[in-house]
Amino acid sequence: MLEKGVVIKTTGSWHTVLDENKEAVPCKIKGKLRTSGIRSTNPVAVGDNVMFYRLENENAGVITEILDRKNYIIRKASKLSKEVHVLAANLDQAFLMISLTLPRTTLRFIDRFLATCEAYEIPAVIVFNKTDLYDEELTDEMEELAGMYGQIGYESVMTSAVERRGLDELASRMKGRTSLLAGNSGVGKSSVINAIDPALNLKTRPVSELHKTGRHTTTFSEMFELATGGFIIDTPGIKGFGIIKMDKDELSHFFPEIFALSENCRYYNCLHTNEPGCAVKQAAEEGKLAMSRYESYLSLYYDDTGKYRTTRY
Ligand SMILES: Nc1nc2c(ncn2[C@@H]2O[C@H](COP(=O)(O)OP(=O)(O)O)[C@@H](O)[C@H]2O)c(=O)[nH]1
Ligand SMILES: [Mg+2]
Ligand SMILES: [Zn+2]
């Protein structure tokens, strides 16, 4: 009998599928699997909804089909390969956890992440963590940034794992949804999740040990269910999340406020770098567009490393 389930972990050829009674069943894949058509190194990803059957007298099953994906995020399988690795599928939203100190997240990193979410059409929320460490100046900066991103359409949540601040709000936003939790190492992702649901007992690591090697040895994504409801995807390959190298003439689509301003540029194909009559550049100079956002746009525009594919998936 076929059952429906969701993949919560993949390690090599074994995939952990959560059945409809929330029981975890280790599954292999049936030899021939209908795939989604992309050339990926992994046929099944965390977040995939699948059909599977159980093997008799064994606590194991076989996946026979991957149901259509609402969306998925990828990274390149390796530096030279054209193949991709699907990091996660069926995301409802992405939380970008940042910190203004220890370690400080750069605005460039935030904007890259947000632009990538736009390209994937995944709603993004910014989480300011470690707020217990912010002095008055950093608190002002946080309010200013939250206001600036809020105007663009990105909501913010302010949290502290230490002082248990903002956890209810975060948990309620996560409830009933599948969320990607992203952010630089050390910003407190695991700590915040543990503070929401201590039973998960995720490993945390002091910031002073971040430079030590072995940090990024895991390459498999994992999905956790919170006791308060909702699934969280913690993916180690998040650096490669920037895999979507947007075409230069499409880049402004992924900066919503820049895209809105571009309507007033003199040339319809204005790229907002140095063109005469560019409403975007003018707005940045007049303070109507955050200079940091404009600079992030330009930095992505000029980022010609050729590291990533130019295709949008
Ligand atoms: N002061 C303070 N420290 C925090 C907070 N959240 C996490 N940390 C510390 O930051 C370090 C890294 O946390 P961790 O959860 O491992 O970060 P991750 O790499 O994003 O999962 C640990 O030493 C945590 O104790 C917070 O809200 N306030
Ligand atoms: Mg962690
Ligand atoms: Zn322009």
Range of the domain at 25: 3-81
Best mutation site among 130, 165, 191, 202 for ligand 1, i.e. most ligand atoms within 8 A of its Cβ?
A: 191
Name, in order, each residue with C-beta under 8 angstroms of 197's C-beta and a sequence gap of 6 or more: 224, 226, 227, 228
Name, in order, each residue with C-beta under 8 angstroms of 98's C-beta and a sequence gap of 6 or more: 105, 109, 110, 126, 127, 128, 129, 183, 184, 187
Please state the atom number of ligand 1 nearest to the C-alpha of residue 129: 27
In a domain, 217, yes or no: yes
Same domain, 76 and 141: no
- Is the pTM higher than 0.85? The answer reads yes
Same domain, 143 and 217: yes
Alpha-carbon dihedral of residues 240, 241, 247, 250, nearest 10 degrees?
-160
Q: How far, in Å, is the centroid of ligand 2 from the Cα of 203?
A: 6
Q: Are 267 and 119 in contact (CB under 8 A)?
A: no
Q: How far, in Å, is the centroid of ligand 2 from the Cα of 45?
A: 20
- Domain boundary among the residues 220, 242, 264 is at 242
In a domain, 231, yes or no: yes
What's the pLDDT at 86? 87
In a domain, 86, yes or no: no
Is residue 191 in contact with ligand 1, taking CB distance under 6 Å?
Answer: yes
Same domain, 156 and 273: no
Q: What is the CATH number of the domain that holds 23?
A: 2.40.50.140
Same domain, 175 and 227: yes
Of residues 240 and 113, more confidently modeled: 113
The 10 Å Cβ neighbour count of residue 310 is: 11
> 29 vs 18, 222, 258, CA distance in Å?
15, 18, 45
Same domain, 265 and 154: no
Same domain, 101 and 236: yes
Is residue 209 in contact with ligand 1, taking CB distance under 6 Å?
Answer: no
Tell me which residue has tokens 């003018």: 282
- Domain boundary among the residues 81, 108, 124 is at 81
**Which residue, by CA, sits nearest to atom 25 of ligand 1?**
206
Is residue 184 in contact with ligand 1, taking CB distance under 6 Å?
Answer: no
Same domain, 97 and 233: yes
In a domain, 307, yes or no: no
Please state the atom number of ligand 1 nearest to the C-alpha of residue 159: 27
Is residue 166 in contact with ligand 1, taking CB distance under 6 Å?
Answer: no
Same domain, 116 and 187: yes
- pLDDT (tens digit per residue) in 248-305: 889 999 999 999 999 999 999 999 999 999 999 999 999 999 999 999 999 989 875 4
The total domain count for the chain is 3
**Which residue, by CA, sits nearest to atom 1 of ligand 1?**
130
Instruction: Measure CA 8 to chain center.
Output: 16
Same domain, 170 and 210: yes
In a domain, 310, yes or no: no
Same domain, 58 and 151: no
What's the pLDDT at 309? 35
- pLDDT (tens digit per residue) in 26-53: 999 987 776 656 778 888 999 999 999 9
Ligand found nearest the CA of 184: 1
Best mutation site among 181, 204, 232, 238 for ligand 1, i.e. most ligand atoms within 8 A of its Cβ?
A: 204
> 96 vs 53, 128, 158, 189, 255, CA distance in Å?
36, 9, 12, 9, 16
Is residue 202 in contact with ligand 1, taking CB distance under 6 Å?
Answer: no
Please state the atom number of ligand 1 nearest to the C-alpha of residue 194: 15
What's the pLDDT at 81? 73
Same domain, 40 and 77: yes
pLDDT at 313 exceeding the cut of 50? no
Is residue 207 in contact with ligand 1, taking CB distance under 6 Å?
Answer: yes
- Domain boundary among the residues 81, 102, 132 is at 81
Exposed e or buried b for every residue in 285-300, given b needs 16+ CB within 10 A?
Answer: eeeebbebbbebbbeb
Same domain, 71 and 96: no
In a domain, 308, yes or no: no
Q: Looking at the DSSP assignment, which residues form a beta bridge with residue 5?
A: 50
Q: What CA–CA distance (Å, rounded) separates 257 from 235?
A: 29
73: left (phi over 0), alpha (psi -120 to 50) or beta: beta
Is residue 204 in contact with ligand 1, taking CB distance under 6 Å?
Answer: yes
Q: What is the CATH number of the domain that holds 152?
A: 3.40.50.300
In a domain, 138, yes or no: yes
In a domain, 219, yes or no: yes
- pLDDT (tens digit per residue) in 87-121: 899 999 999 999 999 999 999 999 999 998 999 99
